[in-house]
Structure 1
Amino acid sequence: MAARYIFVPILISLAFSCVNCVQTVNGRVKIFVGLTAGCSDARNFIPNQLVPTYAQYGQFLDLEFVPWARTRRLEDGSLSCQFGVPDCWANRLLRCTLDHLKANNTAQLEYMACEYRAPFPAFSGSFQCATNAGYGLTQADFCVNNPQLDTLDEEAEAKGTGPIQTINFVPSIVFNDDIDVDAHWQGFSRLSSVVCFALADDPTTGVLGCQI
């Protein structure tokens, strides 16, 4: 029985170790999400953590999605993805569509929310979410099948490799471009709370009433 009380303070300490680990930058919080289309944890995080957080605090948030995660570049220059060929195809479609929507945070999140809901259209080989987002089928198909004509894969590789190497988890969550493992785990499990405390620490936001 006594052993239970030895661990409780430690667990509480870990749970609250990052209450104020994220701060605003010019009144805003940037959330980078490194992911891959076939990842079940990403499929949980997008609809259950990111979507409601954005609904509550979107006016203060800048989002960046990088579909790369555990993708590796092979010696012949081709790509190997965590969940095989469907994952690579879907990741490429995500990159193309996100680039098409890059001027609109809300449109990007709506698109990603579509892709990370069953039946997970891109991973299933469908352009449905992309076309729903206003990305023409011909344009999307051309982008997916002609990666040599742009730098989307190289850009994703450059942005996604560092976070996955340090955090070693998908999705890899980074706040304000500061790769921090503790902040990642807190954001993964209680994103709305992390964002709220960051905004509440900045009096210019007017945000109050945060809960862990």
Structure 2
Amino acid sequence: MFGRSYVALAAFMLLALSSLPASQQKTIVKGNASCDKLKIGIYYESLCPDSIRFVLTQLPRAYASLKEYIDITFVPFGKAYTKGDPDGDIEFVCQHGQIECEGNRMQSCALSFIPDPDKRAQFVPCVMNGTDPRVLGPKCAAEIGLNYGDVERCYATDEGLNLQLQAQSDTYAIQNPLNFVPTIVYNGDFNQDLQDSSLSDFEGTICRQLPCVSCT
């Protein structure tokens, strides 16, 4: 018998595909060639309107149709930065205020406990689909079978701090600061043309980089 998290994920993917207008739905055709998984980094902020739009409208349908060909890393930091002494108290400052910083940290913690890529792809849109990801955290965790107590412990300790410092380091390795949030990076290299096309057609942008797949 399927678990609740499996059923929730299946419903999520079905909704992502069935809600598209017919003109936007793509047919995925697998070729004879094989290809390595495309590594995708999504650098975003928990309260950024453009980040929210991307993870709610672009991510679900692209993941639903192409998940076997991609490996996504979510990095919730964006244009945030730190203040304070590295040997003392460190304060994060976020583009959309303190709640966003708390949302970023919560997501960093949660994602560190979610090894299943399907569940990560379900969790992020779930917590971004509202005005406060901290409030949605427990509900979204329950939907994928994540113990939210682990997330709260991480958040309240240096574990959460260090995860956000790592997110900062990973983000700055792409751009410091990011020119736009979200920033979408393929195989570790930023490309402005791919960035621009990803925001409006993430699925198509992925397809064009996979020699073993065509999308029509």
TM-score, normalisation: structure 2: 0.75
The code of the aligned residue for 1:87 comes to: E
Matched, 1:114 2:123: no
Q: 1:17-47 deviations in whole A, cap 9, x for unaligned?
A: xxxxxxxx95221110001100011111012
Matched, 1:36 2:45: yes
Q: 1:1-28 deviations in whole A, cap 9, x for unaligned?
A: xxxxxxxxxxxxxxxxxxxxxxxx9522
Structure 2: tracts of 5 or more residues without a match = 1-33
The code of the aligned residue for 1:181 comes to: Q
Task: Report the Cα offset of residue 164 of structure 1.
Answer: 4.3
Q: Say if 2:172 and 2:178, in contact at 8 Å, map to a contact too.
A: no
Matched residue, 2:197: 186
Task: Report the Cα offset of residue 127 of structure 1.
Answer: 2.8
Matched, 1:72 2:85: no
Q: Say if 2:155 and 2:161, in contact at 8 Å, map to a contact too.
A: no
SS in 1 for 2:166: helix
Q: 1:180-205 deviations in whole A, cap 9, x for unaligned?
A: 22211111111111111212xx2xx2
Matched, 1:87 2:100: yes
Matched residue, 1:128: 139
Matched residue, 1:61: 70
Task: Percent identity, please.
Answer: 24
Q: Cα distance 1:161–1:169, how it changes in 2: closer, same or farther (>3 A)?
A: same
Q: Say if 1:34 and 1:67, in contact at 8 Å, map to a contact too.
A: yes
Q: Cα distance 1:155–1:100, how it changes in 2: closer, same or farther (>3 A)?
A: same
Task: Report the Cα offset of residue 84 of structure 1.
Answer: 1.2
Number of corresponding residues: 179
* Distance in 1, Cα, partners of 2:112 & 2:131: 19
Partner residue of 1:104 out of 116, 132, 137: 116
Higher mean alpha-carbon deviation, 157-166 vs 70-79, is at 157-166
* Distance in 2, Cα, partners of 1:87 & 1:167: 16
Matched, 1:161 2:179: no
Q: Say if 1:164 and 1:172, in contact at 8 Å, map to a contact too.
A: no
The code of the aligned residue for 1:56 comes to: S
Higher mean alpha-carbon deviation, 80-89 vs 61-70, is at 80-89
Supply the RMSD in Å over aligned alpha carbons. 2.1
Structure 1: tracts of 5 or more residues without a match = 1-24
Q: Cα distance 1:194–1:142, how it changes in 2: closer, same or farther (>3 A)?
A: same
Higher mean alpha-carbon deviation, 150-159 vs 36-45, is at 150-159
Task: Report the Cα offset of residue 134 of structure 1.
Answer: 2.3
Matched residue, 1:47: 56
Q: 1:62-98 deviations in whole A, cap 9, x for unaligned?
A: 0000001111011342111111111111111100010
Larger radius of gyration: 1
